[in-house]
Amino acid sequence: MPEIPPLTGDLKELTEDLLARIGMKIGPIPEASLAMLRSMLTHPEAADRARATLDGQVEHIAAAVPADDPDLRAALMLTTMLGVTIAHQLLDLTALRDAPADRIADLLRPAFHALATHHPQ
């Protein structure tokens, strides 16, 4: 997959940057990137590379999360994005197929905000 710039900034900037990437996740991507996405699910070496990249992104997001369990919260945000990518690119999930990236981002934004800031009672 092409190198994606690291996430940086405060929580709002990180969230917006993450959501802005939906267009890249659901748009046309090269066959080589699709092959890499498939291989990370079945080949240990590819999974190790993906894990290292995602762990780095979790670290950046977690540093801006003002709640308990920042690493877990950041990982949940990233795995949501990964799930959207897999569901759209590999599974061709009907509900995602024609959804515009900005609509998906609009729906995820409050969920990401709540995930990053909600303090359970």
- pLDDT tens digits along 65-106: 988 999 999 999 999 999 998 999 899 999 998 899 999 999
More confident call, 7 vs 119: 119
- pLDDT tens digits along 2-59: 445 556 667 888 888 888 888 878 888 888 888 888 999 899 999 999 999 899 989 9
Distance CA 14, CA 65 (A): 10
- Percent helix, strand, coil in the chain (nearest 5)? 70, 0, 30
pLDDT for position 6? 58
What's the whole-model pTM score?
0.83
The amino acid at residue 51 is R
CB 59 within 8 A of CB 98: no
3-state secondary structure at position 8: coil
pLDDT for position 121? 67
Encoded tokens for 40: 């990370």
Distances (CA, A) of 121 to 71, 118: 20, 9
